[in-house]
Amino acid sequence: MDEILSRMETLSRFTERRSSRMEESPRRPSTLSMLSESRDSRDSRDSRKVSQQEELTFPVIVRPSTRTSRFFDRTDVVGKMNSFFSKSDPQRSFLSLAIYGLGGVGKSSVAMRFAEGKLDRRELDCMFWIHSEKPVSIRQSFTDIAMRLKLPDARPKDHEENHVLVLNWLQQTQCRWLLVYDNAEDMDLLRDYWPSASRGQALITTRNRSFGFEIADGGLEIHTWDTETGSRFLLHLLSTDISEELKEDEVVSATELSHKLSGHALAISHMAGLIHRRAWSIAEFMKIYDQHPSEMHGVSGNNSINALWDFAFKSLDPQSRAILGVLCFVAPDNIPQSLFELEDPANLPELLHFCSDDFHFSEATECLLTLALIKRDKASRTFSIHRLVQTSFKYYMTPEQRNQSFDDAAVLISHAFPRRDSNVAQLYLMWERCALFLPHVLSLKDRFREEKKANPLFTAPRTYCELSNACQRQVYPSKYTFQTTKLIYYRYLLEINAYSELEDLIEVNNMAISTLPQGAPTIGLQGSLTSHTGQLLIRLGRPSEGVQWLKKSYEIRSHDVPFNPRESAWAAENAANGISTMNDFKEGVKWLEKSRYHWLEWSNKQDTARGEWPACIMKSLGVSLTWAGELKLAQDLINQALQQIESKEPYNWAMAAYTHFSLGTIDRHNRKLDSAEAHFMEAQNLWGKGDQLRTDPFNAACMYRLGCTALDQGKVEAAVKHLKDAMVLTEMRKASMVAEHARTIFKLAEALEQEPREAKEAARLRQEAEHLLYLRDPNSKNSGVEHAYDSLVNILWR
């Protein structure tokens, strides 16, 4: 500690440089607009927002990136759908329908035809297509809608806020809207994104008939075609290849093929593509197929369909097979063509070297498009592949080929997923790329688990393990480096609060690392993985478990050859924050001194910033000292950290926000309430100015502390408002962040107790807060004091 004190200097007020920067940064309201207001107080504000939205050019449409251009039959189904929705006025009542059936029968095509018909008849002002198969896809769909509507406060990376904004808009707008939830599988997931609106329409496509009884107002089954209709569909697809005078044997063969395929629309499309590509007649195709029967692989439960798919796959050239193999392991929708267009062609896997040549790549994809195995959207330059095609082709490949295709997909996504950029101005674009490729990273994760379960010999390449670690980090202006233009990944999934995805990714990455060759260097991978695990556990309210993992990460880093003192500095700081979260502040300070020591060991060998240690570690040390009661030393350290932040470019808004928050905490301890309020407000302003997630727990902590300070000052009305704002955010994560939610409810109860007319509500809230406190800490001794709750909160937000 003496060494730390010897480094301290007398600090002056903030420089003119900071003053000018703050003048450019107007204060934002302390509320989280739309999210943070009560329903009653939002009404007038929402009506103004609705009127602003009506100025958009209508119709406002979010379509799937790829869709079927040739639609056949199903007019009876579309007619039934129109009849169902005609029962109500879309401007006055909300109505929903689930259309269900086997995969590949054309549910999505029917939904698209129905929606386009309504648009053509000008019966809709807005139509939004929502990819509903996975949490990550449905969240991104709602973000796309929020951005397309240009909703105030919508941000590309804040999925939780965008989710609420869109649902609120649907409830308030006078527009005639239709939501299409495509490929829904999980009822609980869909319920979270289901509008509680008094008007509008919703359509669900699903393989699960239960949606038509438990969520939607009605259900409609999409059947496979009968033999005659299926044969007419086949002839329709081949109309340009068949002469005007249709021969009898062609009709017979079309009927025979339709019968073999049980009228399955997707399978018929595939066979039509094969017949067209080979310039066969239908009769010729049937003769050749009968001579080359294929084994059944269990897809769709139909021998003929599977056999004929295998027949189509055998017609592929090696290049087309290589591309299709990759597409079997990524998410089926919105697959960017840029995935195959690496900046350095040398990074392409061996089987995909041909992709560096546009002509050869287009030849290979043309084959897949002709066979209807994939679709491509010219405008967005994206591909899509049906889930049945993915499954069927994986069964068609040998185990060795599947492993190779997985490896190739991992290499492509690894090089496409952004890592570093020297231009801070590109941060927004990098966030977009992270959002674009994240579903494909998570798809790789799911596919690896499936393959490993089916085949214990299945392995992951090192590239995949590194990719998963990268995805667990966030593209973020470096708060650690003195190279001012450098960007690093810092806990991508952790920072967007995607805890369930992160937990699952960590589990699978552990499995993947265990498959690497014996003796392969894995210290960096293991160190990062254990660190992510520990930080996640702490955020989930399990700090004792988290600290064990963080200490393990530090121990792993200590064995790195050559030793990397900077990585060990971060490992020690992470462990220190976990230890301080457990209220062992003396031990936390020791670990932060370790962190500083390692950093100086690194910085003293650099050409610039020699002998300096970063503001992040200073701030963390200051926070631990604050809660240990060393307020003067803590304040000096945190002021020094803030001075360093102010002197660096690019300006680190988030780190500045955390630092002001820490100074506010110290001032509140010292009963300098006006100064504390100013620091908490500045922390929230800076957080928003830096375009951070406003649904983040830190922003909720800012609101909470503003409420506490207002209550300390006797400003009960302001306190209630701030605390209600905070509670809207803590409610979102109350299942995992029990302490954060409990303390907000407790403090709101304290504020409402100052109003006699709110006594009943205050008592209810206090009871709820105590219940949550004992749920989080059964041994808590005093549920009536603020400290009992604060002591359980992550040190970052305390």
Q: DSSP class of residue 561? A: S
> For residue 188, is it within any domain?
yes
Model confidence at 48: pLDDT above 50: no
Q: What is the rounded CA–CA span in Å between residue 307 and residue 156? A: 44
Strand order in the sheet with 335-336: 335-336, 382-385, 374-377
Strand 335-336 relative to strand 382-385, pairing: antiparallel
> For residue 362, is it within any domain?
no
pLDDT of residue 418: 63
Say whether both 254 and 296 belong to one domain.
yes
Q: Where in the sequence is the domain holding 250, given as residue range(s)?
A: 227-314
Is the backbone peptide bond immediately before 90 cis, with ω within 30 degrees of 0? no
pLDDT of residue 431: 65
Q: What is the rounded CA–CA span in Å between residue 65 and residue 207? A: 21
pLDDT tens digits for range 98-129: 999 988 888 999 999 999 999 999 999 999 99
Number of domains in the chain: 2
| Highest-pLDDT range among 160-174, 265-279, 458-472 | 160-174
pLDDT of residue 598: 97
Q: Which residue, 392, 400, 517, 525, is CA-closest to 458?
A: 400
pLDDT of residue 421: 43
Say whether both 195 and 82 belong to one domain.
yes
Say whether both 70 and 134 belong to one domain.
yes
Q: What is the rounded CA–CA span in Å between residue 164 and residue 8? A: 46
Looking at residue 26, its amino acid is: P
Model confidence at 16: pLDDT above 80: no
pLDDT tens digits for range 137-147: 999 999 999 99
Question: Where does a domain end: 258, 280, 314?
Answer: 314
pLDDT tens digits for range 84-104: 998 766 566 899 999 999 888
> For residue 101, is it within any domain?
yes
Say whether both 160 and 138 belong to one domain.
yes
Say whether both 240 and 197 belong to one domain.
no
Average pLDDT in the 250-276 region?
A: 88
Residue 720, φ and ψ in degrees, nearest 5: -60, -40
pLDDT of residue 381: 94
Is 539 or 479 the better-scoring residue by pLDDT? Answer: 539
Q: What is the rounded CA–CA span in Å between residue 62 and residue 652? A: 35
Residue 355 — pLDDT band, cuts 50, 70, 90? very high
Q: What is the rounded CA–CA span in Å between residue 154 and residue 230? A: 46
Structure tokens at 727: 């509670």
Model confidence at 748: pLDDT above 60: yes
pLDDT of residue 394: 93
pLDDT of residue 473: 47
> For residue 576, is it within any domain?
no
Average pLDDT in the 717-737 region?
A: 94
CB of 705 closer than 8 Å to CB of 679: no
pLDDT tens digits for range 395-448: 899 999 999 999 999 999 988 876 544 344 455 556 677 778 889 989 999 999
Say whether both 195 and 249 belong to one domain.
no
- Mean residue pLDDT of the chain comes to 85
Model confidence at 338: pLDDT above 90: yes
Residue 287 — pLDDT band, cuts 50, 70, 90? confident
Question: Where does a domain end: 314, 335, 356?
Answer: 314
* Separation in Å, CA 170 to CA 43, 118, 204, 222, 350: 14, 18, 17, 28, 49
Residue 90, φ and ψ in degrees, nearest 5: -60, -15
Average pLDDT in the 633-656 region?
A: 94
> For residue 66, is it within any domain?
yes
pLDDT tens digits for range 490-540: 345 766 677 888 888 889 999 999 999 887 778 888 998 999 899 999 998
Say whether both 191 and 296 belong to one domain.
no
Say whether both 99 and 205 belong to one domain.
yes
pLDDT of residue 503: 87
CB of 149 closer than 8 Å to CB of 168: no
pTM attached to this predicted model: 0.79
Say whether both 281 and 136 belong to one domain.
no
pLDDT-above-70 percentage for the chain = 83
pLDDT of residue 492: 59
Structure tokens at 519: 């003796």
pLDDT of residue 476: 35
Model confidence at 783: pLDDT above 60: yes
Model confidence at 279: pLDDT above 60: yes
pLDDT tens digits for range 208-238: 999 988 899 999 999 989 899 999 999 988 8
Long-range contacts, 651-655 (Cβ 8 Å, 24+): 651/21, 652/477, 652/478, 652/479, 652/615, 652/690, 653/477, 653/686, 653/687, 653/689, 653/690, 653/691, 653/692, 654/476, 654/477, 654/479, 654/686, 654/687, 654/690, 654/692, 655/479, 655/615, 655/616, 655/619
Say whether both 130 and 275 belong to one domain.
no
Residue 796 — pLDDT band, cuts 50, 70, 90? very high
Residue 305 — pLDDT band, cuts 50, 70, 90? low
Residue 244 — pLDDT band, cuts 50, 70, 90? low
Say whether both 191 and 241 belong to one domain.
no
> For residue 67, is it within any domain?
yes
Average pLDDT in the 164-193 region?
A: 94
Say whether both 181 and 141 belong to one domain.
yes
pLDDT of residue 371: 87
> For residue 5, is it within any domain?
no
pLDDT-above-90 percentage for the chain = 59
Residue 688 — pLDDT band, cuts 50, 70, 90? confident
Residue 123's CATH number: 3.40.50.300
Model confidence at 83: pLDDT above 70: yes
Is 65 or 460 the better-scoring residue by pLDDT? Answer: 460
Question: Where does a domain end: 221, 247, 264?
Answer: 221
> For residue 246, is it within any domain?
yes
pLDDT of residue 649: 85
Average pLDDT in the 624-639 region?
A: 97
- DSSP-derived secondary structure for 663-689: HHHHHHHTT-HHHHHHHHHHHHHHHHH
pLDDT of residue 49: 42
The sign of the CA dihedral 342, 343, 344, 347 is: negative
pLDDT of residue 427: 52
